[in-house]
Structure 1
Amino acid sequence: MPNSYSFFFSKRLLLLLPFLFLLRTGQATHIVGGELELQYRSGNTYRLTLNLYFDAINGNRSAEALSLTASIFAKTSNQRMQNVRLPRVSDTFVAYSNPACTIPSLSTRLMVYTSDVELPAAVYSNPSGYYVAVESCYRNNGISNIVNPGGSGQAFYLDFPAVVRNGRPFINSTPHIFPPLSDYACRGELFYYNFGGQDADGDSLVYELATPLNGHCGAGNTMPIQAEPLPYDPIRWLPGFSEQNQIPGAPALSVGRTTGRLEVRPTQLGLFVFSIRCSEYRNGEKIGEVRRDFQLKVITCSSNTDPSVQVLKPGTRTLYQASRDTLRLVEGSNRCLNLRFTDSDPASTLTLSLSPVNFSGLLPTLSTVQGTVRTPGAPDTLASQLCFPTCFDTKGKVYLLDVIVADNGCSLPRRDTVRVAFTAKPEPNTAPLLTTSAALPLRVHLGDVVTFDVVATDPDNDAVTLDMTGRNFTPANLGAQFTPGAGTANTSRGRFSWRVTCAAVGTSLYEFVFTAAASPCAERQATTVVIPIQVEYINGPPVLTSTLPPTEPNATAVAVVRRPLGGTYEATLTALDIDQDALVLSATGNGFDLAPLGMSFVPVNANGRAQAIFRWEPSCEAVARGGLEVTFRLQEASCSPRTITRTVRFEVFSTDTASFLPANVFTPNGDQKNDFFELPSLPPDFCGSYLASIKIFTRWGNEVYRTTNRDLHWDGHGLPAGVYYYLIEYTDKKRFRGTVTIVK
C-alpha cells in the first residue's frame, strides 16, 4: 500500500482498543497508527483516550468506526475484567512538522476516541497487576520488512499495576506523548523524532526496540470484536531484518533509552513497521510496560546540502576551533561572539538555535535567529551575534553550548553544529547599602509612638527591595508597621511606625530586622540592619485596705461578720495604685443579688485611687439562707493587671440564744422552793424558728413528759429521784440538750 505509513502507541493503564471496522477478510483499513493516554481524574475514575491516525489519501472512509472497544485482563489468570467502549469525539487533519514539506501522496487525519473508565480498588487489587490488549487484522500489504504483511495482524499490549498498594490508593497517569506525526523519511538523510513522554507523576521512562506482535490474526480470520488473552505471537521478519535492524540504515533505527528520541539514516526505500517498548519505573521498581507499533515511509527526496555555521572568537576574525579552544569570560572581557551562517542551496531559510549540553538555566542571546540566503535581494551569508550575560557564572566548570543552524529542507531540516566550550565569571557586584534615621539606643514606654525612616540603595544600580521582620516575633502582632515610600530603580525606602501598647509588655527587648536585597544574576545579595527597641515597663501592685475583717488584704480565710437583727452594718474599702492605673472596686453576692437582701455597694472608681462604701441591714433572709457570702474585688486596668479579692460571710444571730442556761436540779417536795423544772431563758421564736416540743426522758430513753408550751412548770409527776434528760426542738431543726436531776 504505497504512500502511507502507520503508527500505533499504547501505554500503561491505557486501554487500547479493537478496531470495529466494517471490513471483509484481507482488506486493509489504512490505519496509520495511534496512541493511548490514561489520565487520573478522581476517586476510581480514569479518562482513557485513543488518538487514531488514518490515511486520508488511501483510507476507506467506510472502514471508520464510530466507537472502539478495549479489553482488560488479570495477569495471573488471564481473566477478562471488562471491555471498555470508546466513542469517537473528533476528526481533524494532522499538520506536517514543516508544512512546506507536504506531499500530495501523504495526508493523515486524527480521530480521537475517549471515555471515562472505572478501576475500583476492590476489583483491581491483585499485586501481579493487569494488562490491556487490542487485536486488529490486517496490516498494510505494502510493508517492506515483514513476512505476509497483508495476512499479519496487530496486537497492542500494555500492563499496569493494581490501583491499590499496602491498603492505600496507588494513583498513576500515563505520560503525555509526542504530538501527532505526519512526516516521512528521506533515503540517505538523517530522520529523527522525539517519541519521549512527560509523566505527570514524575515516573522514569525507559525505551527500547521490540518486535511487533501479530496476535491471533491469521489467514481466514476476520476483524476481532474483542481481544483474546495472552500469549500473542510476534510478526516474522523478512531475511536481513531483525529486532535490532527494523529499518536498515547507516545508522539503522535506534531509540534513546532515556530520551525516546528515534534516529535512522535509511538506506532503503519502502514502508517499514517497527515497535518500541516503553517501561515505567517508580522508586526503582518497574510498574508498567507499553508497546508502540509504528510505520515509517522512506522515499527519495531532492538533494539538500548541509548548512554551515562559523563562530568567531570575541573581537577577532579567528574561527573558534571546537576541538581545542575554550572561551574564558572574565571581568571586563568581551562577552559577545560573532556568528556567520549560510547554505549552498538556493532560497534556503536558515534558523539559529542554542542547546545547552551540560548545564541548564540562563542562556546567551542571539541578535539574529532567522534569515534567507541565496535568493534575489538576499545575501549569501547571514550574521548574528551571540552575547553572554554579565551574570553568567559557570562556577569554575567548563560549560558546553551547541550553536545550531538548521535549514528548511524536507522531510527534516539539515543541520550544522559548533560546540562552544566556555568558562565565565560574573562581573563583581556590591551588596545594597542600608541606612536608617533611628536614634539609638531606643527606649520606649507604654503609649509612646516610635517612627523612623529606612533607605536602601544599590551601588550597581540593581533593583533593590526592602522589608522588615522581627527576630523571634511578628511585628504586625505588636502593631508595628513598615510602610513603603517613593523610590527609584535602585532605591527603596520606607517608614517604620509603632505605637507601644500592652501587646509589647512581657518582653523587654525587641529587635526589628530590616533587609535590603538585590538579585543580580539571579543570586540574592542582602544587607541587614537590626534596630533594637527597649520597652521599659514596671507595674507595682495596687493596695487594698478596708474595715472588713480581717484587715489583711491578702487573707485567704473567709472572714465572718455576725450581727443581730436591726441596725446597719457599714464597711469602707480604699484602693491605691502608685502607677496611676485605672482601679475598679466591685462586690458580688455568691448566688444572690445584693439589693434584695438589704445590701448596697457604692464605688467611686478612678485612676490610681478607688473608694467604696458597703452597707448591710441584717434580716431574716440571711438566717434562712444560712448566711450570705459576698466577694469584694479590686481589678487593676493595666498591661499586666492584678486582681485582689476578699470574701466575707455575713450572718444574723439571736441575742437571746447566747443567754440560755437552764437549771439542772429541782426539788419537788412542796416547800414552795425550787419545786419545778422551768425554762425562763428559753430562746424566743426567731426568724421562722419556732418552738416545736420539749421532751424529757429517763436514762434508759423512755419518754416521760412532752409539751409544746414554752411556759414549762414540770414537777416530775411523782417520778423517783434521779437524773433525767431533756430535748428541746425548734422548727428550723435547732436543738438544745441537757440533764436535770430530781432531788427528794
Structure 2
Amino acid sequence: MLRTLFFAIIFFLSLIPARSSHIVGGDFTATWVFANASNTASTYRLKLTLYRDCDTGTAPFDPQISVGIFDRVTNQVIDTFLIDLAGSGPLVLALGNQCSPPPQICVEGGVYTIDVEIPNNPNGYYISWERCCRNSTVNNLVNPDDTGITFYLELPDPAMHNSTPRFANDPLTYMCEEQPFSYNFAGFDPDGDSLAFELVTPVSGTIGYPVSATPQAVWPGPIPAPYSNAIWATGYGLNNICGGVPLTIDAITGEMNATPDFFGKYSAAVECREYRNGVQIGMIRREIQFNVIICNGNSFPDVSFNAPIKNQTIYAGDTACFTYFVRDLEGDSLWLTYSGDVFPGGPSGPPYAATSGQVGVANVITDFCWFTSCDQARVDPYNVIYTSKDNGCPFALTVNDTIKITVLPAPLIERADMLCMDLTTEDRTTVYFGVPPNTDPEFFKYYIVYRSLDGSAFVPVDTINDHSKDFFIDNKALNHNTINYCYYIVGVNVCDKRGLISDTICSENSANNEINYLKSVSVLNNSEIVLKWKDFPNSDFATIRIFRKINSPLEQFSLISTIVNPQNNIWIDRNVNSSQFSYCYQIITEDNCGNVSPKSNIACSILLTGKSLVFKHNLNWTEYRKWNGGVQKYELWRKGNRDLKYSKIDGIGFTTSFSDENLNYDEGKYKYRVRAIEGPGGENAESFSNVLTLEQEPIIFLPNAFSPNDDYANDRWGAVTGFVKDFRIAVFDRWGQLVFNSIDPNEMWDGQYKGSPAPNGVYVYRVFIRAYGDQKARNIEGSVTLLR
C-alpha cells in the first residue's frame, strides 16, 4: 500500500510543468540526534531549505518531496524518504547597500524536515534530491529553464555521531551593479570541525538539461551520483560567475566578494567542506541565484589605522597609540565621533586615553594614545568605538568600528630554579640558579636573596638588579663546612608584585647524590626506542648522559648521547634495530657545578620474535627489565590483514611465549605486538615491543571429479583454499571453450554451461592464486572429470 502511495505521489508531482517552479537555491543539513541502544545506527534530523521566486503565477512549494540516501563509495541506494513541507514564507532581504530593491525581487523560503534512522557504515553516505527548473532569464547558464538543481550533502559514518556544517545566514539574493558586494553565509560546524569554503559549478542533476532534452519537473525516484553540472554560458565560469570583478570566496572565513558590472540573474553554488584531523569527512552545498540590480551609488566610509593589528593586547604600564583614518569614496562630508571605556567618565579611571572627534570633507584623521598604569589591568578588554558617518544619497551610511584593547597585569617574574652551590672557597658560597627563559627585562625590577643559618628564619641579605645574572656570591658564609647555609630568591616586577619564590638550596646537601630513574623504554615505529625518565631536580638546567648496550651479559654499556639543558624527560633513540635486538639503557645526571649523580636503574626493551608454522604462529619475547613495581602482566595484540585495528589475545599473563593457533583461513598475514604493564608501587608505566609480521603459506585442494546429478553428493566442483590473497579460476571444455570462471574461492561450478547441463567428459582448469607474501601469482593447471 505504501509503495503504491509513493508512486502515486511521484506521478502526481510529475504533472507539474517543468518550468513553473523557478527555484533559485537551497541547501541540505543533517543534525545528529541520538544513537540507538546498540549503537549500530543513529537518528538524524534532515532539513532541506529551499528558495524560489514568489512572483505572481509561480507554482507553490511541493507539499512533499522524495529524498534518497546513498552509499558514498558504492552509490547503492540505501533508503528513500518522503518529507513533508514544514513551512514557508518570504525571505527578509538585508538591504546592506541602503538601496530599495526593485519590486520584482521577491524570494520565498520553504523548509522540509524529517527525523530518520541511518545505520552505521564506514563508507559514509550522501543525500540528494532534484527539482526542475531554473529561471529562463539566468544569464550565466545554457538553457536555464530546462536545467534542474540537485541538492546534496555528504555524511560520514553515523558511528562518528557527527552533524554536518550549516549556514547561519540566509542568502542575500541581490547585488548592486558596479558596486562592491560583500556577504557571508556564516558557515559553522556544531562539532567544532574545521571548515573550508569553495565556489563550485551549479549541479543540474539527471532530470533536465544537459542529460535530458525533455526535462521532468520532479525527480522520478532516487538516482545515484554522479550528477551532471549545469553548462556555463559562453564567457562565464567559476572565474567569472557574474562579470566585473569576479565573485570570490575566502576559503577560511566564507566571506564572498564581487563587483558585478551587468544587470541580470546569475546562478552560483558554494560548497562547505568539513575536516577532522586534516581529513574531509562531510560536505554541504548551497545553490543560490543572485540578482544584479541598478542601485543609486553610495558606499560606506572607508576606515583604516596604522597599528599592526586592530585589537591590541598590552601589559599594564605599556602604551597603546595609533592614527585612525576615515575616507569617503564619493567625497562627501564626514563626521567622526568616539566613545569607550578609556575616556573621562568611563570605568577605567585615570590616566585616560587622548583622542578627538573630527568633521571634514572626503577625509578625516585623528590620533589615539593611552599610557596605562599598573592598576588598569583587568580581564575584560577596553572598548574604543569610532563612529564614521557620511552624507551620501539616498541615505547616509554609518560605520561603527570597535577596537578592543586588553590590558593584562604586568607579568610576574617567573620562579627561578636553584641549581647548585659551589663551596670550594672558604667562608664564601656561590649559588647558581636558572634564570626563567621568559623573563622580560621591561617588567623586571630585581631579585631578593633570602638566607637561613642552621634552620633559623630566612632574612633578606642581598638584591640582584641584573635580570640576566644567574648566580650570587655570599662573602659572609663563615664556616659553611659546619653551618648549614640555605638560600632562596624571589623576583619583583615593575608594579612591585612578587612572583613565586624559588626552591631552596642548602650547603649540607648540595652534593649531587640524587639517583635518576628510567620510567620506561618502549619501541616506537619498529625503528625507534623511546626513553622516559622521572622528573629530576634541576634536570632542565643540567646535563643528561645516556648509555646503551645490546641486551646480553657479554655486552658493555657505552655513552651514546649527551643532552645539555634538556627541555623534557623524553629522548628517542633512532639508531637502533629494534626488530633484531633488545637494548638496555642507563642514565646519569651532571649539574652545572660539575657534580655527577650515581647511575640510574637499567631498563631494557622488549624484543618479539616468532616463527610461522602450518596453521599456527609460535611467538617469544624478552621480559621487560626493570620497574620498581615489576611487570604486572604482558598483553599480546594481533591484527590480521583485513582488520582495521589490533585486538588483544586473552590469557597471556606473565608468560613470555605463546602459540597462536586461532588463525582465520581467509587471512594470511598477521602483525603482533607485546605490551608490558607495570605493577603497583611504580610509575604506572607501560612498554611496547617491536611489531612482528608473520605470514601463512597458501593452501589449495582441487578434486579430480564430480557428479552434478542432484543426489547431494559431489554435485558441485571448485577449489578449497586457505590463506589466499588473490584467486581466479577458469574451466575449459575439450575445444577450449570457457565454461566456468570466478574470482571468488568460495564459488563452485554446478556443471551448467549457458543454462544447460554440460556434457560428461574431461575439463581442463587453470587456477591463479597469490599468497599474502608473494608479489607474483602462482599458476596451477589440471583436469576434472564430469560424470552424471
- Give the structure-1-normalised TM-score: 0.43
Q: Does 1 or 2 have the higher relative contact order (CA < 8 Å, sep 6+)?
A: 1
